[in-house]
A and B are shown apart, each in its own frame.
Chain A
Amino acid sequence: MSTTTAVQTAHHRSDGVRFEREPLVLGNPTLHDITAKIASIAEDKPTPKYLLALSFTAAIAAWGVGCILYTILTGIGVWGLNNPIGWGWDITNFVFWIGIGHAGTLISAILFLFRQKWRTAINRSAEAMTIFAVICAGLFPLIHVGRIWFAYWLIPYPNQMQMWTNFRSPLEWDVFAVSTYLTVSLIFWFLGMVPDLATLRDVVKNKVAKRLYGFFSLGWSGSMRHWHHYEMAYLILAGLSTPLVLSVHSVVSLDFTAGILPGWHTTIFPPYFVAGAIFSGFAMVMTLLVITREVLDLKELITMKHLENMNKIILATGMMVGYAYAMEFFIAQYSGNPYEAFVFINRATGDYAWAYWTMVLCNVVSPQVFWSRRLRRNIPVMFIVSILVNIGMWFERFTIIATSLHHDFLPASWGYYTPTWVEVSIFAGTIGIFLTLFLLFAKYIPVIAIAEVKAILPDAQPQHSHHGVEAPSHQVEQSTSV
């Protein structure tokens, strides 16, 4: 399977067969090369192309924000929602964006605990996407409450009106789950960035930039004591973030399961949503990284090996999602409950069959190409599949929401829902916000975790010094010594 390349060779030694893994950094760069490479991105003046891209995404974002204002000033009536479908694109988009945010935490927390060294080249950008995606997600419930100026009522606080939030509502649990997730992700992302910000502080020439990087690097000097505390904090935050990868989307899934609607109320929803979230998150990371590594010329740091590993995760989580679709369908028929059985037959053959089959084709069928190593390492193929998965995962949420609502128990109250241009514009607007934030990030924040990548260079490995000595998981190299 993976032994055909020259870099992966099995050779024989006196005490058995030995297999060396593919290197994670190509081209044998020195520690200084890596600093110079990443710092140059932030140091160079923005190119006209970059400014063009930025203004394009910012224009879309502005258009979306305009439509949000229009909705708020006019009322939710400008959307296509009505009885019986009271949740449409808004909640679909909310769940979609929350899902996108899952790859970052998985990569930064779970892969860290699993000692997956390949995470170092991609964790920074994946975590950034997490934060931007959660920001986009949070917009939708806020707009959907209708009177956004009362949105602070979502937060429980003692008040003279004696009004409390409904703690029995899963929507309230979402407030806690999502805000916890955003907070911890933000802290984790920022903490991991401190040594790199200090590196930029020491490297950049621009005075304002130097001040800003200096402010955010919290006086980092790269001393042994700093590294010791940093690594302890990083490990603890990784441990704290790991349950959050599971909890956020599980709580989101309870928005549906707590309602006893056929098609929503089923026990597999929490892990099924988590698998789907990681699946869509990795697809988004793939889409953006394929472009980023090309544009910023990071091919020696984000190698084919990284992309292949991500494609394997896309294949695995895609099949978990497929497993959940199959279980839902099977149990609905097995249950003998005619309403459950109907909902699933209706999904596949009813008014929204087009959405259902789009979802199945994109999420279950398209990742199957990754069984082939050749296709796992083919840039155009992985780019197309990642786009398809993004589309498919959006349609998954839409299918779940719309099909269970449009045909419920009473045929007299059946209906059909189509979004208005306002809803479509707001969704497009959040894509604009997401991409704008990502473009700003890619330019002004170290896109690659400089210190962590240095730690996986061959020179940093314990077997390269003398055998048996423990090396810290991060290279202890003073950021000032570039």
Chain B
Amino acid sequence: MNPYRIMLGQTPFPGQLRRLGGVLALVGIAAFIVGGLGHPQYWWGGYLLGFIYAMGLSVTLVFFSALSYLVNAGWVAAVRRIPEMLSSFVLVLPVAALPLVIGALTGNIYEWMHSSDEHLHHGFKGLYLSQPFFWARLVFYAVVWIGMHRVIVGNSLRQDDVTDITPTQRNWKLSAPFVLLYALTITFASFDLVMTLEPHWFSTIFGVYSFAGHFVASLALMLIVMRMLERGGYLAGILSREHYHDVGKLLFAFTIFWTYVAFSQYFIIWYGNLPEETVFFAKRLSNGWEIFGWASLFGHFVIPFLFLLRQDVKRQPQLVTIGALILLIAHAIDLSWVILPVFSAAPGEPYQLSWALVLTGWGAIAAMLGAVLIVASRAFARHSAVACNDPYLHESLDYHSGAYDPV
């Protein structure tokens, strides 16, 4: 019997995760409903925000697994199953997207779909922003992402039950094209679903910016669930401080990466000062929305940077989890800043901060995050919580950095 096969089906863990998800979902739905009363467009905007949050997170968690196969990472084998379980929401993305389809078709989300602006309907832009092409692209993303989940996570799960490494070898091969496809789909999905909210505005780095945010949030969620599992005593002897340290280092590094990318976008547009570009930031740095800009700067960079800089913080499970929580919230702030202002005013009017809109959007995020956890709890109930036959598991378990832990 493989000692690393940890089946949580009979333990309280899946139930705990489901209850946590349920509470989040109920509170979220209540906030979502209350926030949008009197302003139906808040519901559409809020739902889009919640959807992007959960979509980015779950797809990027599959990407994390694929990436670790691609680079032959040894350290990750002991914890890789956690992101894989959490990514199960990818399979229900098409269902979660249905309200958006309705919102878009009824003309409540994307201005370009019903705008009579000549500029949006001719040339390459007209071609790209045509409804049949738009819907075809969304279907393509869904097919790629579900396929990626089935192949990468599927092979990882199959490895649990066999004694040769064929499933892992398949992932070594297939992770490369999937990482490539992920890069393209997450870029164009962020263009299609978010950037076209303001159809005249454009930024070449927008795909990288979206990716950086999703990746930080994915690592943060992974750390939080690692901590939950550890607190329950389910991964005793498997999870060590080295794993927290490693994920914490990645979290720290990609927090800086996000800042670098977000700053590149901001700085180049600010310095160039071309009206067609600056409008994006000008509208988001006035009428109250600047609070979110500043909150992004502090919540997504200054505070986590200073907090996670120290080695001993990254090695302390409780502390590094606090850092992860800050970043999970900061990701919500960042996405809110990009998405919500568009829904805060009638078309053509200047954006105006509305806390009711923020409540709606954050309600949707909480509800979607709850759904992510509920779907993940089913996966945790069925499969081993550790990739018990992973050929690199011994490296992940045996590694000691030599760092000194006083506590």
Chain A interface residues toward B at CB < 8 A: 1-3, 10, 12, 15-19, 21, 113, 115, 243, 246, 250, 254, 257-258, 260, 265-271, 319, 323-324, 327-328, 331, 333-337, 341, 371, 462-463, 467-473
13 contacts between A and B (CB under 8 A): A1-B169, A15-B2, A18-B391, A18-B393, A19-B391, A21-B72, A254-B268, A258-B272, A331-B203, A331-B204, A333-B123, A336-B123, A470-B401
Most A CB within 10 A of own CB, among B169, B271, B388, B389: B271
Beta-carbon contact of A333 and B402 below 8 Å: no
Which residues on the A side are within 8 Å of B298 (C-beta)? none
Beta-carbon contact of B394 and A12 below 8 Å: no
Beta-carbon contact of B264 and A327 below 8 Å: no
Cβ-based interface call for B180 (8 A): yes
Which residues on the A side are within 8 Å of B261 (C-beta)? 271
Which residues on the A side are within 8 Å of B200 (C-beta)? 336
B203's nearest neighbour on chain A, judged by CB, is A267
B393's nearest neighbour on chain A, judged by CB, is A16
Which residues on the B side are within 8 Å of A469 (C-beta)? 400
Across the A-B interface, give the 3 residue pairs with the lowest CB-CB distance, nearest first: A19-B391, A268-B204, A470-B402
Cβ-based interface call for B382 (8 A): no
Which residues on the B side are within 8 Å of A243 (C-beta)? 256
* A336 vs B198: C-alpha distance when bound (angstroms): 13
Are A3 and B165 CB-contacts (below 8 A) given A16-B2, A268-B205, A334-B124? yes
* A21 vs B256: C-alpha distance when bound (angstroms): 31
Most B CB within 10 A of own CB, among A18, A257, A268, A269: A268
* A473 vs B2: C-alpha distance when bound (angstroms): 31
Which residues on the A side are within 8 Å of B265 (C-beta)? 267
* A318 vs B207: C-alpha distance when bound (angstroms): 18
The residue from A2, A246, A341 contacting B124, defined by CB atoms under 8 A apart: A341
Are A267 and B269 CB-contacts (below 8 A) given A10-B164, A16-B393, A341-B124? yes
Beta-carbon contact of A19 and B165 below 8 Å: yes
Cβ-based interface call for B406 (8 A): no
Beta-carbon contact of B402 and A267 below 8 Å: no
Chain B interface residues toward A at CB < 8 A: 2-4, 72, 74-75, 119, 123-125, 128, 159, 163-165, 168-169, 172-173, 176, 180, 183-184, 187, 200, 202-208, 249, 256, 260-261, 264-265, 268-269, 271-274, 276, 388-394, 398, 400-402
The residue from B173, B264, B272, B389 contacting A1, defined by CB atoms under 8 A apart: B173
* A194 vs B186: C-alpha distance when bound (angstroms): 46
* A18 vs B4: C-alpha distance when bound (angstroms): 13
Beta-carbon contact of A250 and B256 below 8 Å: no
Which residues on the B side are within 8 Å of A336 (C-beta)? 119, 123-125, 200
* A19 vs B123: C-alpha distance when bound (angstroms): 54
The residue from A260, A327, A471 contacting B187, defined by CB atoms under 8 A apart: A327
Expressed in whole angstroms, the minimum distance between the Cβ of A384 and any Cβ of chain B is 22
Beta-carbon contact of B204 and A17 below 8 Å: no
* A337 vs B128: C-alpha distance when bound (angstroms): 15
Which residues on the A side are within 8 Å of B119 (C-beta)? 336
B202's nearest neighbour on chain A, judged by CB, is A335
Beta-carbon contact of A331 and B183 below 8 Å: no
Expressed in whole angstroms, the minimum distance between the Cβ of B145 and any Cβ of chain A is 18
Which residues on the B side are within 8 Å of A268 (C-beta)? 204-205, 208, 264
The residue from B4, B123, B256 contacting A16, defined by CB atoms under 8 A apart: B4
Beta-carbon contact of A17 and B268 below 8 Å: no
The residue from B128, B202, B208, B400 contacting A468, defined by CB atoms under 8 A apart: B400
Which residues on the A side are within 8 Å of B72 (C-beta)? 2, 21
Beta-carbon contact of A10 and B124 below 8 Å: no
Which residues on the A side are within 8 Å of B168 (C-beta)? 19
Expressed in whole angstroms, the minimum distance between the Cβ of B203 and any Cβ of chain A is 5
Beta-carbon contact of B249 and A113 below 8 Å: yes
Expressed in whole angstroms, the minimum distance between the Cβ of B404 and any Cβ of chain A is 9
Beta-carbon contact of B205 and A463 below 8 Å: no
* A42 vs B264: C-alpha distance when bound (angstroms): 46
Beta-carbon contact of B402 and A473 below 8 Å: yes
Beta-carbon contact of A246 and B164 below 8 Å: no
Beta-carbon contact of A260 and B2 below 8 Å: no
Which residues on the A side are within 8 Å of B401 (C-beta)? 470
